């Protein structure tokens, strides 16, 4: 009975907090840091109803705080539920979604089946393949197709994120790609490397020099290495590269970071010393 | 100033007088006590202990006489800020509180007086020297300055308070460690102070201070300029042998120069063992293996370059495998490993293939690509055979011939050349160019299978393209090796070789993998089974094992590249080994936790997986030291 009552009170708190427009309203009801479950319920509902970025960010903060508070109380189930709820708000960012699922599993190992299912579903696999294909098409002079992919939602971001993860300069990579796909000169070979010409009445194939650099490469060896490394990181889940040297050549040297509450706090800009939400602001006590 | 015996005699008498003439004895104590504080370093050990006991008894008797506590407590104040006076006064108060029951208020006030001198925890025993020593350590840790006079007084005090040479060495090295990490630029007084402290140690062969110095070079928090002055003093003023001018660190040395100088210290003080050569002393190390582990652990930099990371990783691996072999009863093999330190051959120069437009390359490509029959192509192949590498245009020409020409023999001839150059980036790029998501021709499929092998889906399968791309990109990585990448492959080979040795000596079937992560996974599987038996009777340790299992899964599945996969297995190995030690040696729990905390701190700062791998192996080496020491004690 008590649980039902508390649950009902939580839902009332949620609706009061959410108001009519699904926003976190300063409605005179605060989140109680001693009840992390509240943060989960309010945050999840707010995230589902959020129509603006600010509202979504606030909802994520509530959930993130829920993780911190629940973990402190050793309520690992609530902590991991909050992580998963935040992950679900990052449909366009498979990397961060995966970090959150990993943190959820770390907090509550009983989530293994759900975690494996999320992993199996590929979270962003198509986007990564599009990113790799975009770079490949840019290299192989299929400029129109490359540009179409680069302009597709999420692809440029995926390239940037992967470049960042590998320690490259995302801005340089994307600028180079955009230069490449903006090729407006002649392409008599149609991307085939050899152009058929007529000489002395006979058809002869010549190397098509209408490109700034040979088809398949890039503006420099260094840029080519980075392109290939990004393609590799997007296409491979790491299993194909068994050789440490080959992996090093492809920029696959990044450190293995464990998901952590500290990362969560930093990513969502919350202060564990201010866990209560009053009038839309985080404060130290209700 | 009285001789110490006179002071000791006075203190004896004051104990008796305290009962009969408390006020007069208090007055006299006020005269005698400061002399005791000035002269205590002249007291031999037993006399010092007796003096402390007498003072404690004196205080106790005043307390029993109901003398107000606020008159008793100030009697034991140090007066002045000289560290040797403060440490003895703090020690005296400690003994007084621990010896006999005092009124609560008297105790509280005495604690407050002591608290103004030291933050060292109150010991619950009455050993004078120990109490003074603890205060001395605390005093050094809190002192901010480099004033030689202060340190001279401190050294005098701690020398007398040390129960052993090891205690004195520990105190001096701790003080030096703290001062070396002071980020402020050293003052002129630094040289005088460090000279005094360095000369207080004897730096003999295999001494703790020699091991300590190596570790200072490898700690990025140690300030170069300060360390440089220390090495100057070591070379010119100390008793240390085997130190010359080349081992004086330049004051503005960069990281490679530090590395160079520490190598000289290692070569001079810890030469590589060969044959039956034994160090003259073991310096407190029970076995040569422990000694070598200590050197390696101390030599491991906390903020390594990639080259340092690979070098030290191999060294630590070598020694930890030697240790595992020794534990498993393969003493002779272990000794052989120690006698033969790893030596990875120099990396060959690896010029990167030029993929730019080249006239000669284009000319050959145009001649080849226009061939319609094998007989036309064969003469051009003689030119090709003379070159070790094939240009980008020629590569594209060969791929064109292999996939577009109608004559079978011509296609096969081109294919043979492609396979010959299949490890070159130009060929792989040309093949990649020939791929199409839309339609995979049988000729392209044949080409790909010849180069990548048959482990590819059918060309009509949707997975053909992604699988081929995946494999091709992996090959491209191998085709673009630079010297530093090649070195990583060499390190991988050496690590795999060491792990295979462990597996094979452990009775496993011939280990047939080249992948260090697979090999270590097999070893971990075996270790886990052993650990499970050890923890069966402890709920807490079983829960720890469950946590390791959960973390193992997370580390393994989150790994995205081969060094991360290996790192994941190293972490599992470390976790299982630390649990094993804690299960069998509960008293080692604190040391295990210290090692793991240090690892966490180092690994947090690492930017690459290979660096994390080094730090993890370093932690494993430390745990191995704990294990070997415990075994040596049994």
pLDDT class for B507, splitting at 50, 70, 90? Answer: confident
Q: If you write DSSP's letter for every residue of A171-224 in order, what string do you get?
A: HHHHHHHHHHHT--S--TTTTSSEEEEEETTEEEEEE---SSS-TTS-SSHHHH
Residue A22 contacts residue A51 (beta carbons within 8 Å): yes
Q: ∠ CA B501-B507-B511 to the nearest 5 degrees? A: 50
Q: ∠ CA B328-B579-B337 to the nearest 5 degrees? A: 30
Whether B485 has its CB under 8 Å from any CB of chain A: the answer is yes
pLDDT given at position A180: 87
**Region B549-565 average pLDDT:** 88
pLDDT > 90: percent of chain B: 74
pLDDT given at position B62: 94
DSSP code of residue A122:
T
Alpha-carbon distances of B332 from B324, B325, B505, B626, rounded to whole Å: 12, 9, 12, 22
- Is B548's pLDDT higher than 60? yes
Question: Phi and psi for B103 in degrees, rounded to 5?
Answer: -60, 150
Map residue A281 onto helix, strand or coil: strand
Q: What would the 3-class secondary structure string for B291-315 be? A: HHHHHHHHHCCCCCCHHHHHHHHHH
pLDDT given at position A123: 62
Whether A242 has its CB under 8 Å from any CB of chain B: the answer is yes
pLDDT class for B510, splitting at 50, 70, 90? Answer: low
**Dist CA A238 CA A252 (whole Å):** 9
pLDDT class for B272, splitting at 50, 70, 90? Answer: confident
| Token reading at A155 | 């692809």
DSSP code of residue A110:
G
pLDDT given at position A239: 67
Q: If you write DSSP's letter for every residue of B435-452 in order, what string do you get?
A: --SS---HHHHHHHHHHH
Contacts of B518 in chain A (CB under 8 A): none
Alpha-carbon distances of A244 from B477, B485, B563, rounded to whole Å: 10, 8, 6
pLDDT class for A135, splitting at 50, 70, 90? Answer: very high
Residue B45 contacts residue B129 (beta carbons within 8 Å): yes
Query: What is the gyration radius of the CA atoms in chain A, in angstroms?
Result: 25
Count helices and strands in chain A by DSSP H and E runs? 13, 4
| Token reading at B597 | 């905390």
pLDDT class for B323, splitting at 50, 70, 90? Answer: very high
| Token reading at A245 | 């040297």
**For the ranges A160-169, B567-576, B625-634, the one whose mean pLDDT is highest:** B567-576
pLDDT given at position B280: 43
A94-107 vs A53-72: helix crossing angle, rounded to 10? 20
pLDDT given at position B1: 62
**Region B231-260 average pLDDT:** 93
| Token reading at B12 | 């004896």
pLDDT class for B392, splitting at 50, 70, 90? Answer: very high
Whether B570 has its CB under 8 Å from any CB of chain A: the answer is no
pLDDT given at position B386: 78
Residue B318 contacts residue B621 (beta carbons within 8 Å): no
Residue B606 class from Cβ within 10 Å (0-12 exposed, 13-18 middle, 19+ buried)? buried
CA torsion sign for B603, B608, B612, B618 is negative
Question: So what's the ipTM on this one?
Answer: 0.77
Chain B residue with minimal CA distance to A209? B357
**Region B279-306 average pLDDT:** 79
pLDDT class for B277, splitting at 50, 70, 90? Answer: very low
Residue B356 and residue A129: Cβ atoms within 8 Å?
Answer: no
Residue A236 and residue B551: Cβ atoms within 8 Å?
Answer: no
**Region A211-218 average pLDDT:** 90
**Region B52-80 average pLDDT:** 92
Contacts of B561 in chain A (CB under 8 A): 238, 241, 247, 252-254
**Dist CA B400 CA B455 (whole Å):** 24
| Token reading at B335 | 């000794």
Distance of residue A51 Cα from the nearest chain B Cα, in angstroms: 33
**Region A226-249 average pLDDT:** 86
Contacts of B433 in chain A (CB under 8 A): 140, 193, 215-216
Whether A41 has its CB under 8 Å from any CB of chain B: the answer is no
Single out the residue of A89, A17, A6 nearest to residue A280, CA to CA: A17
pLDDT given at position A23: 46
**Dist CA B480 CA A178 (whole Å):** 25
Per residue in A87-130, pLDDT (tens digit) is 999 987 777 898 899 899 888 888 888 888 887 776 677 888 99
Per residue in A65-79, pLDDT (tens digit) is 999 999 999 999 999
Total number of residues shown for chain A: 286
B104-115 vs B45-64: helix crossing angle, rounded to 10? 130
DSSP code of residue B588:
G
What residue spans define the domains of chain B?
4-151, 164-271, 359-479, 513-633
**Dist CA A147 CA B159 (whole Å):** 76
- Is B614's pLDDT higher than 90? yes
Per residue in B18-57, pLDDT (tens digit) is 989 999 999 999 999 999 999 999 999 999 999 999 999 9
Distance of residue A238 Cα from the nearest chain B Cα, in angstroms: 5
């Amino acid at each position: 009975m008590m649980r039902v009552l508390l649950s009902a009170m939580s839902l009332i708190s949620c609706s009061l907090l959410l108001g009519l427009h699904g926003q976190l309203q300063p409605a005179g009801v605060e989140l109680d840091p001693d009840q992390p479950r509240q943060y989960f319920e309010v945050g999840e509902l707010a995230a589902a109803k959020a129509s603006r970025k600010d509202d979504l960010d606030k909802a994520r903060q509530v959930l993130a705080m829920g993780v911190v508070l629940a973990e402190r109380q050793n309520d690992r189930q609530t902590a991991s539920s909050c992580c998963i709820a935040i992950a679900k708000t990052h449909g366009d960012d498979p990397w961060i979604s995966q970090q959150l699922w990993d943190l959820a599993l770390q907090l509550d190992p009983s989530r293994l089946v759900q975690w494996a299912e999320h992993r199996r579903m590929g979270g962003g696999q198509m986007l990564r393949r599009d990113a790799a294909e975009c770079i490949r098409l840019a290299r192989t002079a299929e400029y129109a197709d490359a540009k179409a992919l680069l302009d597709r939602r999420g692809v440029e971001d995926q390239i940037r994120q992967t470049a960042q993860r590998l320690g490259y300069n995302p801005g340089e990579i994307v600028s180079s790609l955009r230069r490449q796909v903006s090729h407006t000169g002649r392409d008599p070979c149609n991307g085939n490397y050899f152009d058929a010409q007529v000489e002395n009445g006979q058809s002869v194939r010549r190397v098509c020099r209408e490109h700034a650099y040979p088809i398949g490469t890039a503006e420099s060896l260094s840029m080519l290495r980075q392109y290939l490394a990004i393609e590799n990181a997007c296409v491979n889940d790491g299993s194909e590269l068994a050789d440490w040297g080959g992996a090093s050549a492809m920029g696959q040297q990044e450190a293995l970071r464990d998901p952590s509450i500290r990362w969560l706090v930093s990513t969502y800009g919350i202060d564990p010393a201010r866990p209560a939400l009053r009038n839309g602001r985080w404060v130290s006590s209700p | 100033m009285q001789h110490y015996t006179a002071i000791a005699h006075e203190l004896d008498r004051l104990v008796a007088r305290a009962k009969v003439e408390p006020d007069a004895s208090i007055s006299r104590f006020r005269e005698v006590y400061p002399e005791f504080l000035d002269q205590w370093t002249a007291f031999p050990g037993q006399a010092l202990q007796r003096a402390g006991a007498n003072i404690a008894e004196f205080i106790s008797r005043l307390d029993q006489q109901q003398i107000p506590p606020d008159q008793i407590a100030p009697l034991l104040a140090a007066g002045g800020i000289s560290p040797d006076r403060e440490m003895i006064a703090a020690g005296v108060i400690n003994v007084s509180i621990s010896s006999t029951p005092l009124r609560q208020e008297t105790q509280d006030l005495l604690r407050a007086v002591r608290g103004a001198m030291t933050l060292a925890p109150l010991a619950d025993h009455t050993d004078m020297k120990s109490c003074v020593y603890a205060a001395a350590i605390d005093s050094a840790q809190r002192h901010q300055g480099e004033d030689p006079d202060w340190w001279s007084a401190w050294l005098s005090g701690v020398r007398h308070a040390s129960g052993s040479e090891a205690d004195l060495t520990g105190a001096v090295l701790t003080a030096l460690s703290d001062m070396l990490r002071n980020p402020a630029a050293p003052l002129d007084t630094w040289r005088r102070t460090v000279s005094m402290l360095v000369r207080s140690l004897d730096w003999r062969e295999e001494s703790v201070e020699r091991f300590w110095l190596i570790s200072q070079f490898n700690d990025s928090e140690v300030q170069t300029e300060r360390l440089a002055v220390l090495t100057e003093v070591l070379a010119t003023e100390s008793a240390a042998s085997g130190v010359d001018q080349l081992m004086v660190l330049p004051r503005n040395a960069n990281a490679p120069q530090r590395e160079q100088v520490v190598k000289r210290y290692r070569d001079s003080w810890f030469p590589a063992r060969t044959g039956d050569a034994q160090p003259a002393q073991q310096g407190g190390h029970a076995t040569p293996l422990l000694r070598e582990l200590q050197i390696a652990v101390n030599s491991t930099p906390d903020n390594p370059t990639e080259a340092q990371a690979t070098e030290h990783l191999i060294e630590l691996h070598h020694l930890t495998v030697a240790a595992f072999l020794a534990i498993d009863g393969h003493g002779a093999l272990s000794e052989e490993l120690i006698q033969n330190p790893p030596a990875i051959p120099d990396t060959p120069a690896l010029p990167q293939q030029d993929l730019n437009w080249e006239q000669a390359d284009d000319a050959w490509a145009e001649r080849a690509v226009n061939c319609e029959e094998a007989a036309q192509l064969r003469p051009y192949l003689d030119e090709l055979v003379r070159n070790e590498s094939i240009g980008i245009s020629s590569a594209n020409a060969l791929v064109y011939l292999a996939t577009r020409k109608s004559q079978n023999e011509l296609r096969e001839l081109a294919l043979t050349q492609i396979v010959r150059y299949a490890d070159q980036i130009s060929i792989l790029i040309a093949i990649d160019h020939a791929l199409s998501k839309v339609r995979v021709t049988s000729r392209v499929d044949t080409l790909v299978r010849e180069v990548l092998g048959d482990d590819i889906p059918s060309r009509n399968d949707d997975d053909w393209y992604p699988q081929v791309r995946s494999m091709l990109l992996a090959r491209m990585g191998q085709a673009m090796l630079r010297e530093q990448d090649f070195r990583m492959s060499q390190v991988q080979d050496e690590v795999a070789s060491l792990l295979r040795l462990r597996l094979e000596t452990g009775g496993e079937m011939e280990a047939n993998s080249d992948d260090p992560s697979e090999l270590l996974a097999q070893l971990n599987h075996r270790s886990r089974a052993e650990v499970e038996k050890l923890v069966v009777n402890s709920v807490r340790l079983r829960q720890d094992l469950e946590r390791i299992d959960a973390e193992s899964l997370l580390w393994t599945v989150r790994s995205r590249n081969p060094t991360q996969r290996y790192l994941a297995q190293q972490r599992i190995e470390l976790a299982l080994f630390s649990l094993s030690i804690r299960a069998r040696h509960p008293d080692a729990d604190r040391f295990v936790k210290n090692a793991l905390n240090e690892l966490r701190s180092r690994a947090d700062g690492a930017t690459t997986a290979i660096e994390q791998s080094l730090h993890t192996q370093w932690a494993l080496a430390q745990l191995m030291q704990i294990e070997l020491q415990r075994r040596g004690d049994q």
